[in-house]
Each structure stands twice: as C-alpha cells, then as structure tokens.
Structure 1
Amino acid sequence: MDRSPGGGDRPDYAHWMEIPTRWADNDAYGHMNNTVHYEFMDTAINTWLVEQGGLDYRGGAVIGLCVESQCSYTAEIAFPEVLAVGLSVSHLGNSSVHYAVGLYRRDRTTEVAEGRFVHVFCDRETRRPVPVDGRLRTALEKLRRSP
C-alpha cells in the first residue's frame, strides 16, 4: 500500500539537502515534534526557490503561498541527528506546484516522514495567482519527476 503522498522511494527525489536537528526540536516525549517536520520541508523548498529559482521573498513581485500540506510520519528522530531531505515536483501547473518531500536519516536508508506541499504563486500585492515563468519555472522543471 502506498500511503505516501509523495511516492516515497529515494530515487524519486531530484534534489537532496541535509538539515541538522536542533536542541529545541525535541518535545516532551524526547523526539522531534511533528511540527518541525513541516519546517524542514519548508526550508528545503524555499532554499531551492531562492537559490535556484531566484525567488525574492523579501521584495519580489511574486510570492509562493502554501495552500496545502500533508505529512505522514514513519519513524522517530531526535536531536542530535541530521536529516537528508529529498525534494521533487510531482505537478507543475500554470500558477501552482506540488512538491513531494522525503525526510530520511542522513544515510538515506531510514525514512522519517513523507510530505506533500502545494504552493500557489501570487502577486505580492493582490494575492491573485500569477503564471510561474522564467527562472522560477526552469528551476521547478529541474525537480519534476519523470512520468
């Protein structure tokens, strides 16, 4: 059964980055709190958008707004560990993009969580959807999964 919103197989991810856990990520149960997984997904996605897509989140005319996110947790993780975060695009529309995100232990063999994250790109002022084009589209195309 594929319970994963993103596919879940390590080769499915087009880009990887490592993110260390922090002391404050652990909760009262001694593991990384569920909300932190979303922070890691958001960090991987936005790092790609800024570094590869040229997204100017501080003052650019176009911003990406999260309209949907989901996470399935498959293993515990706790500070001090480093996560390998896999990123791919499962759908690239006119103004929206669906990301698949896999969180793994650093060796990429133990899955921690699988996520889905959807951005709609909008005009900063009007908050109305705008086409994804130029350098941003090119960067997102690089993350697109093969059918």
Structure 2
Amino acid sequence: MRVAVKSRSDFRYFQLITTRWMDNDVYGHVNNVVYYSWFDTVVNQYLITNKALDIHTGTTIGLVVETQCVYFNSISFPDVITVGLAVGHIGNSSVRYELAIFKNDDQQPAAQGYFVHVYVDRNTRRPAPLPETLRELLHQALL
C-alpha cells in the first residue's frame, strides 16, 4: 500500500504526549495498540476542550466506525510525541479525522492514519446530524 506521507504543516491542531515506560513492548518500541489510543485521546481532547462534545449529558455521541494507521518509524520510551490533527471530511452525521504522530522534533511522521466517527443519538444509537457547535469546530480544522 502506498501512502502519501504528510508533514507537520498538513495539520491544524497539535497535542503533546509523553511516552510511558509501559508503552514499550518486548521488542523495545511502543506497541501498535498505543498509537490508536493516542489517536482517540487527541480527537476527544480536541472536541471536549473546545466544548463541542459533552461526554456525560450530550444527546449526540461519536462512535468509531473505521480507523487506520500506517507506521514509518518506531517510537520508544522516553520519546516525546506530538499528534497532529486535521479534519479530512465532514458529512451529515460523520467526520473523518486525519492524524499523524511526530517523534520528538521530527517534521515527518513516525505514523499517520485516520479515524472516522459517526455521530448518533445517545439513546437510540441511530445516526444523528452533527450538532452545530461541533460542525463549526470541525470547519476550523478542515483541510
């Protein structure tokens, strides 16, 4: 699979994350499952911090329906990473987030991928239109 490698300038929002000793696996690098955790953390941090998602009482919630990560270089504790976030597509009830993980001061990502949320009614779990506050925030990060 051929993937166009992105750089830091392709992203609109950044979050710094420090690796932890427990993130390393027996091969001496951060295990792949941790990368997905970082994706999930950054997307939700962006939404919650900007008051576009109320995880406790909001009537609309985002469910992950698709995700992908392509790995280019390994990361190990005690590396410091920055996760870049941009919005690749906004639909009626879905959003595709573009993400990349940059190791230390690298300009090229160690990994990059995407994450798709479908927003649904909290009670019925049926697709629901994106709330206006969420849509406005997403437009700020749109590629």
Report the TM-score, using the length of structure 2 for normalisation.
Answer: 0.94
Q: Which moved more, 1:69-78 or 1:50-59?
A: 50-59
Cα distance in structure 2, aligned partners of 1:91 and 1:139: 13
Q: Is the 8 A contact 1:53 1:140 kept in 2?
A: no
> Which residue pairs with 1:87 in the alignment?
85
Matched, 1:138 2:136: yes
Partner of 1:62: 60
Displaced runs of 4+ in structure 1, greater than 4 A? none
- Listed as ranges, the matches of 1:25-40 within 5 Å are 25-40=23-38
5+ long unaligned stretches in structure 1: none
Provide the rounded CA distance (Å) in 2 between the counterparts of 1:61 and 1:33.
Answer: 34
Q: In structure 2, what residue type is equivalent to 1:3?
A: V
| Unmatched 5+ stretches in structure 2 | none
2:11 corresponding residue in structure 1 = 13
**Within 2, Cα distance between the matches of 1:62 and 1:19?**
28
Alpha-carbon distance in 2 for matches of 1:22, 1:129:
37
| Structure 2 residue 69 is the aligned partner of structure 1 residue 71 | yes
Q: Could you say what the CA RMSD is over the residues aligned between the two structures, in angstroms?
A: 1.5
Cα distance, 1:133 vs. partner?
2.5
Q: Distance in 1 between matches of 2:15 and 2:27?
A: 27
Deviation at 1:56, TM superposition (A): 1.0
Aligned mates of 2:140, 2:106 — CA distance in 1: 21
Aligned residues: 143
- Partners of 1:92 and 1:108 lie apart in 2 by 29
TM-score normalized with structure 1 length: 0.92
Is the CA contact (8 Å cut-off) linking 2:82 and 2:101 kept in structure 1? Answer: yes
What SS does structure 1 have at the residue aligned with 2:36?
helix
